[in-house]
Amino acid sequence: MVTVEIVLLAMVAAFLGLRLYSVLGKRTGHEQEPVARPAIEERQPATVHQPVGQREASGSVPVIDSPLADSAAQSGLRAIGNADRTFDPALFLEGAKSAYGMILDAFWKGDKERLRFLCDDDVYDSFSDAVDQRAERGEVLENRLVRIEEARIIDASYDHPMARIVVRFDADIAALTKDANGNIIGGSLTDAVDTHDIWTFFRDVKSGDRNWKLDETDAV
């Protein structure tokens, strides 16, 4: 009797084993292979990256040595970085390129309101006079900034609390001038002209105003 019970229990165990294998032991092709993980104590802590243009509010200030700037500008950039720990040359240069396009576009279209916001008084007055003289002659500009080939910081300085950065822009500009009747009197939109401008931007780093303004213009 005992032998029969042992045989029956063995058969039940075998049957259950086969059922479990049929459910859990087969691979459907969608399961993920197990990934070997290192022991917790062997894992390295995740690297935390600071957002571009922001620095730690405390501690030492990293030395700025930008490949986007000439050697003559490096000491000035470091001085600006010491005064404003959120300053980043790469971000500044991107903003300067945007300002270059916006200021040129505003000047060509005679948009004095936008020029007033982007330029200091002296530069604004110069642009405004040129816009008025152009309007008196009845001339209309249809210029277009094709591309900025290169923008590079060539000088920088900090004289508390004013920061100044000089940028050279090498760009291609298509220029077209029409008279009051819409006749073309100069230029062409199909032939871009190489231009080389040197613009100086300034900002009071202690004012809380994050906007840089155009302080001076020159052509190479």
- pLDDT band per the 50, 70, 90 thresholds, residue 209: confident
- On the 0-12 / 13-18 / 19+ scale of CB atoms within 10 A, 1 is exposed
Residues 41-54, mean pLDDT to the nearest whole number: 34
- For residue 44, the 8-state DSSP code is P
Compute the 3-state secondary structure of the chain and give helix, strand, coil in percent, each to the nearest 5. 40, 30, 30
Residue-level pLDDT at 121: 96
- pLDDT band per the 50, 70, 90 thresholds, residue 66: confident
Residue-level pLDDT at 26: 38
Say whether pLDDT at 64 is over 70. no
| 38-52, 62-76, 121-135: which is most confident | 121-135
Please give the domain boundaries of the chain with CATH numbers for all domains: 71-219 (3.10.450.240)
**pLDDT tens digits for range 149-171:** 999 999 999 999 999 999 999 99
Token couple for 56:
């730690």
Say whether pLDDT at 7 is over 80. no
Q: How far apart (Å, rounded) are the C-alpha atoms in residues 121 and 115?
A: 10
Say whether pLDDT at 96 is over 60. yes
The closest alpha carbon to 73, from 157, 4, 142, belongs to: 157
Helix 121-137 / helix 89-109 crossing angle, nearest 10 deg: 30
Residues 166-180, mean pLDDT to the nearest whole number: 96
User: pLDDT > 70: what percent of the chain?
Assistant: 70
Kindly write down the DSSP assignment for every residue of 186-198, as one continuous string: EEEEEEEEEEEEE
Say whether pLDDT at 103 is over 90. yes
Say whether pLDDT at 92 is over 50. yes
Q: How far apart (Å, rounded) are the C-alpha atoms in residues 172 and 195?
A: 6
- For residue 42, the 8-state DSSP code is G
Question: Is the alpha carbon torsion for 53, 82, 89, 46 positive or negative?
Answer: negative
The closest alpha carbon to 196, from 165, 174, 173, 170, belongs to: 170
Q: How far apart (Å, rounded) are the C-alpha atoms in residues 200 and 215?
A: 5
